[in-house]
Amino acid sequence: MAGRTLSLLKRSDHRNSGYRSSAFKRAAAVGAVALATVSLQPVAAHAAPVPIVGGAPAAQSEFPFMVSLSMGCGGALYKKDVVLTAAHCVNGSGNTTGITATAGVADLDGPGAIKVRSTKVLQAPGYDGHGKDWALIKLSRSIDLPTLKIATNTRYNRGTFTIAGWGDTRENAGTGSTRLLKAKVPFVSDRRCKQRYGGRFVAGQEMCAGVPRGGVDTCQGDSGGPMFRKDDSGAWLQVGIVSWGYGCGRPLVPGVYTEVSTFASAISRAAATL
Ligand code: ARG
């Protein structure tokens, strides 16, 4: 049941790829207890399965910093050769050529995809499945596409955010989308998010966003991707990393995102060591 209602689960976990992290298992075990009283409703009882959940196709080059990662996660180009993703998408830190990053396309099957292998992974120090859900992936070569700036203070942690990814278009779909989908979700206060998630929500390290009536959300396979908005100069700025949620797009159940501003200096320092 926890695997279906899920908390920390990347798309490849559905395929039983063996890439499952111990942190996920812990989170699933905790979730199974915490959520045992909440029944899993059939998808049809929620918002209609519209294309991310409730999204629309992104245009080619609309979000040039978006990266699809081969373990079934999203990411964003933080530097031309470094991808920022979620800690729960990777298996610890170290050298690995086992991850392929695909960039430069909205349609993963379309022409012009840029595919680059990883050389290293750096998972957030002290990551234990509870907050700190960020990781960096060093690429074997630079990709000549725009990077996405990250928020370095809390100033933009409000308002309406854009989410984008190749993840599931409805809860439990398990397939993802070959087209990059986008949607907009308003900020949800820590207080409200705590009401919904209790102690599993780590205020200060996580922030929430979602549409109260449901039907618009990130979902499995979107993890690691950015949540972003325009700054005052009109440039895209990353404020969140897709992390977890109870189901996808359920009414009054926001998505939970890593609060990037909290980790901005740690991310910058870590990237300098790669
Ligand atoms: N943990 C998921 C992943 O690995 C993301 C879940 C986001 N869920 C949500 N309801 N916003 O892809």
CATH of the domain at 129: 2.40.10.10
* Residue 57 counted as domain residue: no
* Residue 196 counted as domain residue: yes
72 and 85 both lie in a single domain: yes
Strands 94-95 vs 73-79: parallel, antiparallel or unpaired: unpaired
> What pLDDT score does 13 carry?
41
257 and 157 both lie in a single domain: yes
Q: Across the strands, what pairs with 203?
A: 206
Q: Give the E-state strand segments of the chain in sequence order.
A: 56-57, 66-69, 73-79, 82-85, 94-95, 100-103, 114-123, 135-139, 149-150, 160-165, 181-188, 206-209, 226-230, 236-244, 255-259
Asked whether the predicted pLDDT for residue 6 surpasses 80, the reply is: no
> What pLDDT score does 53 carry?
87
Q: Are 136 and 84 contacting, i.e. CB atoms less than 8 angstroms apart?
A: yes
109 CA from centroid of ligand 1 (Å): 23
40 and 128 both lie in a single domain: yes
Rounded to an integer, the average pLDDT of 43-67 is 72
182 and 194 both lie in a single domain: yes
Asked whether the predicted pLDDT for residue 4 surpasses 90, the reply is: no
Asked whether the predicted pLDDT for residue 93 surpasses 50, the reply is: yes
Strands 56-57 vs 82-85: parallel, antiparallel or unpaired: unpaired
User: Which amino acid is residue 43, in one-letter code?
Assistant: V
DSSP state of 203: B
Half-sphere exposure of 191 (CA within 13 A, CB side): 0
> What pLDDT score does 152 carry?
98
Strands 94-95 vs 56-57: parallel, antiparallel or unpaired: unpaired
The least confident of 48-52, 191-195, 217-221 is 48-52
101 and 162 both lie in a single domain: no
pTM here? 0.84
124 and 156 both lie in a single domain: no
Tokens of 14: 């559905």
- Please indicate whether residue 261 is annotated as part of the active site: no
194 and 224 both lie in a single domain: yes
- Please indicate whether residue 133 is annotated as part of the active site: yes
37 and 172 both lie in a single domain: no
pLDDT category at 10 given cuts 50, 70, 90 is very low
pLDDT category at 52 given cuts 50, 70, 90 is confident
> What pLDDT score does 104 carry?
96
Asked whether the predicted pLDDT for residue 28 surpasses 80, the reply is: no
The count of domains in the chain is 2
Q: Which range marks the domain in which residue 83 is found?
A: 9-48+64-145+265-273
Structure confidence by residue, pLDDT tens digits, 106-164: 999 999 999 999 999 999 999 999 999 999 999 999 999 999 999 999 999 999 999 99
* Residue 55 counted as domain residue: no
The angle subtended at Cα 135 by Cα 134 and Cα 137, nearest 5°, is: 150
* Residue 59 counted as domain residue: no
160 and 138 both lie in a single domain: no
* Residue 40 counted as domain residue: yes
156 and 200 both lie in a single domain: yes
25 and 112 both lie in a single domain: yes
Pocket test for ligand 1, best of 4, 211, 220, 227 (most atoms within 8 A of CB): 220
Asked whether the predicted pLDDT for residue 86 surpasses 50, the reply is: yes
114 and 101 both lie in a single domain: yes
Please report the atom of ligand 1 found closest to the CA of residue 7: 1
Asked whether the predicted pLDDT for residue 37 surpasses 70, the reply is: no
* Residue 252 counted as domain residue: yes
> What pLDDT score does 83 carry?
98
- Please indicate whether residue 109 is annotated as part of the active site: no
> What pLDDT score does 195 carry?
95
69 CA from centroid of ligand 1 (Å): 15
> What pLDDT score does 48 carry?
36
* Residue 1 counted as domain residue: no
Contacts of 118 (CB under 8 A, 6+ apart): 96, 97, 98, 99, 100, 101, 137, 138, 139, 140
* Residue 53 counted as domain residue: no
120 CA from centroid of ligand 1 (Å): 24
Structure confidence by residue, pLDDT tens digits, 55-64: 999 989 999 9
Contacts of 30 (CB under 8 A, 6+ apart): 7, 200
